[in-house]
Amino acid sequence: APAASLFSAGYQQYLGTTLFWDNAGDIETDYASARNNHAIDLGTNSIGSNTAANNYDCNIHGDYGTTSALLDGIVRGDNATVGSPVMMTWANGNERGGGSPTGRCGSNFHTTAPPSCAKNPIHVGATNSDGDSMTSFSSWGPCDDGRLKPIISGPGCESGYVNNEYAIYSTDLSSSYSLKCGTSMATPAVAGAATLGIEHYRDVTGNPNARPSNALMKAWLIHTVRDQGVAGPDYSYGYGQVDTLKLINLISDTTTYRGDTIAAHGEVDSFSYVIPANTGQFKVSLAWDDYAASPIISNGAAALVNNLDLEVIAPNGSTTYYPFSLDPANPERAATSSGANSLDNQEQVIIDSPTPGTWTIKVKGTSVPQAAQPYALVHTHAGTLNCGADLVTNGGFESGSTGWALSGSPTAATVVTAPAGGSGNAMLIGGNAGSNYQEYGYRTVTIPANATIAKLSFDWFMSTSESSATVPADYFLFLAYRTDFGGALLAGDLRTNAWKPNVWHNNDYVDLSQLAGQTFNLFFWSINNASAQTSFYVDNVSLVTCTENEAPQAAELALAKTAAASVVSGQPLTYTLWLTNSSSVAATGVTITDTVPAHSSLSLASLSGDASAGGTTPGSLITWSLAADLAAGQSVSRTFVVNVNSGLSGGTISNTAAAVADNAASVSSNSVNTSIIEAAALSLSKAAPAAVSPGNPLTYTLW
């Protein structure tokens, strides 16, 4: 967005005891000026309470405070001073790396400080840009009521293990640039992606002043991220790492998203979506900007006011798929999809290998005390994957160290029995304490040049004897390392003794697709300081590469029907059906249906060979099952004849047909109305003389 303009405002705190918790300062004034005097389209905020660093009460982590409520009202458009809705990104905070000692208020989960437990802004966590590993400082959820934070992540630092760069360039107070790290750096990156999205949306819609809603932008973003860490959304990365190219490509196709409104409590909106054969995945994302709740909510009280629920129903009409939900009591665990999500105001359903046919998407107004509630919905399907064999053999170490090189200084990594909760064996790296003790295990792999997906996954466990688990002292890394050991290509995972110990963590997605065509080492590395021992365990290492087939397209059918405008009682009536495939792909498994109309009976002799009938009386179903696909642009016709009942003195025969295909939504024809004309009641008599003489005329009389 080279022509974008920037408007900057400094925050001033007026009252209260804690930044952004019990007082919102001049946020309302600044946003009113930005929107009403400068017509801003998006507000991005690299600011937070810094609870740990400012020595505030750590118990306010996870709270929904005064500023949280204000921000929700501004984003939604309920704030009278600002006057209209505002799209907003907000830094999720750096609490895991803040304070003295480092991570004073917590070093892993439950570290989201005010005001970032607001519901509506797009909260951004920070990753390292040299491989998308999680930073050591980015605040993690959940909020006190269990809601997901952050929403997504963006690049906000560098690990230092690639090119020896430990930060990213960012603006400073001297109107220059300096090296910095933080969610304050990640948030402008996401705001930049959103700005490009706004610009492209205006191009696509042809409206130079169009503003997509904050909810629509949030739905776009969570729909297009690259999943990182635990599969699905999680309390560390949110839904995943921002992907600007995928965002723009999604916006280009206006058939993939919509905005609508639940007008009242209990209302259900339903939408049909056709899944063609050979579909690999079906994804639906929902977001809405909720009403502000009453501050200050803590101790687990729910902040959600209007609760919408997303359900996706299979073509059989009974199998229902639900959105992701996380367990705040076990925040390291992967999301499940076993029921409604009643906490968050963004939801997502992902269905792998969906059944072809017409699916139903439902948005349910489960609890809408503050109607009406607008929402945004995004829906796409993807092609199937062609995946090769796992590139890692013995990834579970059941054959000891076969296939792996275990080394270190002064001691080497080893294969041991996995800790409790693990399976079989695991690789132990970091099993000894000492100044700069380093242990590592690695193996060489080659990613095929044509791979578009390269997914590394592994399980990880950590136990530590460090006196303070909050201070990062011992480190675990995954690096894609050059085979000549000339340096790292990317740093895909970075963890410390400050992570949650003594539980297995699943890292289901380290993206190595940028290394397609390269040979390198999968390099797991630990660094222990001299103070105490931290043991890191790795198990179930897997690297799967795939190519993606194009998403199959759905066909589009159009059905027309003709018949005579009128028919005489007791006479036959012919119907002609015209079915056209107006799309660029063939329609498969095409079926046309009609019913015998009232006041008539079906002439079975009029049916073609691909037709069947459930009877001849009114209401009986007539079905044509096309033996061949209906090619793109092709039309077919079918006819049938009914005999109109005798003795009718008038009225109308109405009839509508329908058609459906395996890869096309059901369509109905126009309604054909035929007037019934009463048959005339005629009688004919004829008379003539009983005899006539030859040569004389004979007279006949008709009446």
Check whether 421 has a pLDDT greater than 90.
no
**Residue 368 falls within a domain, yes or no?**
yes
**Do residues 336 and 421 share a domain?**
no
Which residue, of 548, 579, 597, is where some domain finishes? Answer: 548
CATH number at residue 333: 2.60.120.380
**Residue 326 falls within a domain, yes or no?**
yes
**Residue 531 falls within a domain, yes or no?**
yes
**Do residues 541 and 585 share a domain?**
no
**Residue 87 falls within a domain, yes or no?**
no
Who's near 410: CB < 8 A, 6+ residues apart? 434, 437
Check whether 425 has a pLDDT greater than 80.
yes
**Do residues 525 and 411 share a domain?**
yes
**Residue 44 falls within a domain, yes or no?**
no
Total structural domains within the chain:
3
**Residue 521 falls within a domain, yes or no?**
yes
Greatest pairwise CA separation for the chain in angstroms: 146
Which residue, of 348, 382, 416, is where some domain finishes? Answer: 382
What average pLDDT score do residues 58-64 get? 95
Check whether 2 has a pLDDT greater than 80.
no
For residue 658, list its beta bridge partners: 593, 668
**Residue 291 falls within a domain, yes or no?**
yes
Q: What is the mean pLDDT of the chain?
A: 94
**Range of the structural domain that residue 600 is part of:** 557-677
**Do residues 671 and 642 share a domain?**
yes
Count Cβ atoms within 10 A of the Cβ of residue 14 and give its class: 0-12 exposed, 13-18 middle, 19 or more buried: exposed
Confidence class for position 40, pLDDT limits 50, 70, 90: very high
CATH number at residue 451: 2.60.120.200
**Do residues 530 and 659 share a domain?**
no
**Do residues 375 and 307 share a domain?**
yes
How far separated are the first and last CA of the chain, in Å rounded? Answer: 91
Check whether 100 has a pLDDT greater than 90.
no
What average pLDDT score do residues 72-81 get? 98
Which residue, of 505, 529, 548, is where some domain finishes? Answer: 548
**Residue 654 falls within a domain, yes or no?**
yes
Token pair recorded at residue 491: 């740093």
**Do residues 306 and 261 share a domain?**
yes
Check whether 609 has a pLDDT greater than 90.
no
**Do residues 426 and 365 share a domain?**
no
Task: Indicate the helix (H) or strand (E) that contains 558.
Answer: strand 557-563
How many other CB atoms sit within 10 Å of the CB of residue 218? 32
Task: Indicate the helix (H) or strand (E) that contains 194.
Answer: helix 183-205
Confidence class for position 472, pLDDT limits 50, 70, 90: confident
DSSP character at residue 126: E
Predicted pLDDT of residue 3 = 80
Predicted pLDDT of residue 345 = 99
Check whether 432 has a pLDDT greater than 80.
no
Task: Indicate the helix (H) or strand (E) that contains 544.
Answer: strand 534-548
**Do residues 349 and 412 share a domain?**
no
512-543 residue pLDDT tens: 999 999 999 999 999 988 788 899 999 999 99
Check whether 423 has a pLDDT greater than 90.
no
Which 3 state secondary structure label does DSSP give 486? Answer: coil
**Do residues 492 and 422 share a domain?**
yes
Confidence class for position 54, pLDDT limits 50, 70, 90: very high
- Asked if residue 307 lies in contact with residue 344, where contact means CB atoms within 8 angstroms, the answer is no
- Asked if residue 63 lies in contact with residue 142, where contact means CB atoms within 8 angstroms, the answer is no
What average pLDDT score do residues 648-670 get? 92
Give the whole-angstrom CA distance, residue 153 versus residue 137: 13
Encode burial over 41-79: b for 16+ CB neighbours within 10 A, e otherwise: bbbbbbbbbbbbbeebebebbbbbbbbbbbbbbbbbbeb
Helices 27-38 & 66-76 angle (0-180, nearest 10)? 20
**Do residues 443 and 571 share a domain?**
no
- Asked if residue 45 lies in contact with residue 9, where contact means CB atoms within 8 angstroms, the answer is no
Predicted pLDDT of residue 268 = 98
Check whether 1 has a pLDDT greater than 90.
no
**Do residues 573 and 634 share a domain?**
yes
CATH number at residue 658: 2.60.40.740
565-608 residue pLDDT tens: 999 999 999 999 999 999 999 999 999 999 999 999 999 999 98
> Across 9-23, 390-404, 405-419, which has the greatest mean pLDDT?
390-404
252-297 residue pLDDT tens: 999 999 999 999 999 999 999 999 989 999 999 999 999 999 987 7
Token pair recorded at residue 352: 């792998």
- Residue 528, CA distances (Å) to 42, 128, 431, 440 in order: 45, 21, 9, 12
Confidence class for position 469, pLDDT limits 50, 70, 90: low
